[in-house]
Amino acid sequence: MGRWRDGRGTLLVHGDGGRVAAVPLEIATSYRARTKGLLGRDGLDGAILLSPANGIHTFRMRMAIDVAYLDRRLNVIAVRTMPPGRLGRPRLRSRHVLEAEAGAMADWGVRAGARVTVEVE
């Protein structure tokens, strides 16, 4: 897995029966990129990965988002949908947080117990 840098890549969601969903991904690893996240955006094509992170907030966001908490092996610990103006509860085992527009993660198969991988461009 290694250390990522701010940039772009592809999120691969490994589903049942060998199904793999490929999702455009933004990677935010610097303090500045993680702090900005989805603030000020009206939408997102794909997902954004915040690393390291174990919790998020949706203050000053314009849209509801899906949030997936990932452990160090990129296994999904929990998935929540959060409206704007909320503070998410930190997850102790979480090392990374994945964010997307509300409803998108269910379409991709991101759920508790699923595994994802990241391909960097």
Please list the pLDDT of the chain residue by residue as tens digits (121 residues): 557 999 999 999 998 778 899 999 999 999 999 988 888 788 889 999 999 999 899 998 889 999 999 999 999 999 999 999 999 988 999 999 999 999 999 999 999 999 999 999 8
Give the DSSP H or E segment for 68. Answer: strand 65-70
Give the position of tokens 């992170």.
53
pLDDT for position 1: 52
- In angstroms, the CA 55 to CA 12 distance is 22
Count of residues making up the chain: 121
* Four-CA torsion 41, 92, 111, 114, nearest 10 degrees: 120
pLDDT for position 40: 79
Alpha helices, H only, 1-121: 31-36, 104-108
- In angstroms, the CA 20 to CA 6 distance is 24
pLDDT for position 99: 95
